[in-house]
């Protein structure tokens, strides 16, 4: 865990946010925030105490009393201001993200931007949090629904998108009238905290947004706390499954977006150059550390002959620190992540897959201590091999073969994960058949990473998702609200009152 004792150091310490104040934790457990390209220690992050978690939840519970009654227009204007502040600080946010996470600067800006889109969506909450009305359902009787906030909600976010995922969570929760406790990844919390500072500057009142840091103990405290009504999680399948069951057992609403094995099916009629570019970008971008990475290609028929050209394209990608101009593939988040990816590559060789391109131990002058793995490609991969069965979460593309579209669809559907998939073809009929028969929540047609914009909802499925409702879009408004149905009748003083009615019908 790379925890440290509380010792005097020149490195900055990351603060907690409790009841509108950034406060130093009183914990004795800390973790270094490390630049993955250099191993330089950037900051120390605390593992919050139980009392600190309880204080954050208590502040959120108290703030909910007034925030839930704040006019919807007031809430919307805060997020209008917030999106403006994020735009103004885009360069600063991207630089912070690159330093602690390792992404290239353009990819870091993309991370922030995709979160910004959800903030913009939150600013339209007046159009999203609408109920329904039926007039005169019986004589003089109207029925209508209200979408009311739940109370204190919480979010647990991963290391791979330290800007986007927090912005998926707390803006929509707060815009719908809830208060929020956020637990960012302990590996790269600095850009998240800067976004939180900007949120307060935009006008979020004290106690409405709170932040605690930590590991498993803090996660469990969030899952168990009686005053937290809903928990949103994005991360690994192992932790997500734990969060879902533990939080559900304590009566919370839970949504967990988890691991994946996303297949890109390539038909021989696809545009070769566009498809090869898409595969290389989707497999190796962000060093493969995306839950929506196209980590698995299924080449159908004659498309299997494209492997040498795909390897040649992957060789042109530049491996370097994310701060360096022209970098395509930055470092993995940690030494442990690099060792795990290298171990899975070794297992692929041992289990008989063909290593077409080996990205282990790349030469990166000036950054010899970085957590680098270059683009790696395996062919002749089959189910049962670890490199297929496990999510590698690194710049590794595994290639399987199929003789027909039907065989490719059966292969994808047999995999337990269902986060995303894509098909590359110039046949409308083939594309339509694929989208109809594929059992995966998010489908791209000539689009390698089919993450929807916030007008729609993120809809991963099967083993990639636990919980019925996804983050952002229309579904998340339902997740963060409860429906209250009101049936009303009013009588004028001179109205002839109806008599006693002993049935359940309205007349």
**Residues belonging to the active site:** 291
Helices marked H in 271-334 — which ranges? 272-284, 307-315
For residues 326-348, one letter each, b for 16 or more C-beta atoms within 10 angstroms of the residue's C-beta and e for the rest, the string is ebbbbbbbbbebbebbbebbeeb
Select from 340, 448, 316 the least CA-distant residue to 393: 340
- One DSSP character per residue, 439-487 reads --S-EEES-SS-PPPTTS----EETTEESSS-SSHHHHHHHTEEEEEEE
Give strand ranges (E) for 207-361. 209-211, 228-234, 253-257, 263-266, 296-300, 354-357
Cα distance from N-terminal residue to C-terminal residue, the chain: 66
Residue 313 φ/ψ, nearest 5 degrees: -65, -40
Scan for tokens 């545009």, then name that residue: 271
**Are the beta carbons of 232 and 255 closer than 8 angstroms?**
yes
Q: 198: how many CB neighbours lie within 10 A of its CB?
A: 20
Q: Which two tokens mark 304?
A: 């299997």
Q: 91: how many CB neighbours lie within 10 A of its CB?
A: 12
The H or E element spanning position 67 is helix 50-67
Q: Which two tokens mark 502?
A: 């002993």
The H or E element spanning position 135 is strand 133-138
Q: Which two tokens mark 314?
A: 């992957």
∠ CA 383-384-388 to the nearest 5 degrees?
A: 60
- One DSSP character per residue, 388-440 reads HHS---SSEEEEEEESSHHHHHHHHHHSSEES-EEEE-S-HHHHHHHHHH---
| Residues 6+ positions from 488 with CB-CB distance below 8 Å | 141, 142, 143, 144
| Alpha-carbon distance values, 483 to 64, 253, 487 (Å) | 18, 14, 13
Q: Which two tokens mark 97?
A: 């993200």
């Amino acid at each position: 865990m790379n925890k440290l004792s509380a010792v005097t150091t020149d490195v900055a310490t990351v603060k907690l946010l409790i009841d509108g104040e950034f406060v130093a934790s009183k914990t004795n457990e800390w973790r270094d925030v490390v630049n993955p390209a250099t191993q330089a220690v950037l900051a120390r992050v605390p593992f919050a105490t139980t009392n600190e978690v309880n204080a954050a939840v208590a502040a959120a519970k108290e703030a909910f009393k007034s925030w839930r009654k704040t006019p919807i227009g007031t809430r919307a204007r805060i997020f209008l201001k917030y999106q403006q502040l994020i735009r103004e600080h885009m360069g600063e946010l991207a630089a912070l993200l690159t330093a602690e996470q390792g992404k290239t600067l353009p990819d870091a800006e993309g991370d922030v931007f995709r979160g910004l889109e959800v903030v913009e969506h939150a600013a339209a909450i007046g159009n999203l949090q609408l109920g329904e009305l039926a007039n005169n359902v019986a004589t003089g009787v109207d029925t209508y629904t209200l979408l009311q906030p739940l109370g204190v909600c919480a979010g647990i976010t991963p290391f791979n998108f330290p800007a986007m995922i927090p912005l998926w969570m707390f803006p929509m929760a707060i815009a719908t009238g809830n208060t929020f406790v956020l637990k960012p990844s302990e590996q790269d919390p600095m850009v998240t905290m800067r976004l939180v500072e900007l949120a307060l500057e935009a006008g979020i009142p004290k106690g409405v947004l709170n932040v605690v840091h930590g590991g498993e103990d803090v996660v469990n405290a969030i899952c168990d706390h009686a005053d937290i009504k809903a928990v949103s999680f994005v991360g690994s399948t192992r932790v997500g499954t734990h969060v879902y069951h533990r939080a559900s057992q304590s009566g919370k609403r839970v949504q967990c977006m988890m691991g994946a094995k996303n297949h890109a099916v390539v038909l021989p009629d696809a545009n070769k150059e566009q498809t090869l570019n898409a595969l290389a970008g989707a497999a190796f971008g962000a060093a493969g550390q995306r839950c929506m990475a196209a980590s698995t290609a299924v080449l159908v028929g004659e498309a299997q002959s494209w492997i040498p050209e795909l390897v040649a394209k992957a060789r042109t990608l530049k491996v370097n620190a994310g701060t360096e101009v022209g970098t395509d593939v930055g470092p993995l988040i940690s030494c442990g992540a690099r060792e795990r990816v290298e171990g899975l590559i070794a297992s692929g060789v041992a289990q008989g897959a063909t290593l077409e391109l080996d990205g282990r131990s790349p030469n990166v002058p000036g950054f010899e201590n970085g957590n680098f793995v270059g683009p790696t490609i395996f062919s002749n991969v089959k189910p049962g091999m670890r490199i297929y069965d496990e999510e590698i979460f690194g710049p590794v593309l595994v290639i399987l073969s199929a003789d027909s579209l039907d065989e490719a669809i059966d292969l994808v559907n047999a995999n337990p994960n269902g986060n995303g998939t894509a098909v590359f073809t110039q046949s409308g009929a083939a594309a339509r058949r694929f989208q109809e028969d594929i059992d995966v929540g998010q489908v791209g047609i000539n689009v390698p990473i089919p993450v929807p914009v916030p007008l729609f909802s993120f809809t991963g499925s099967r083993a990639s998702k636990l919980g019925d409702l996804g983050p952002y879009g229309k579904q998340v408004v339902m997740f963060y609200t409860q429906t209250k149905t009101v049936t009303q009748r009013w009588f004028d003083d001179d109205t002839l009152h109806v008599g006693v009615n002993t049935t359940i019908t309205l007349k």
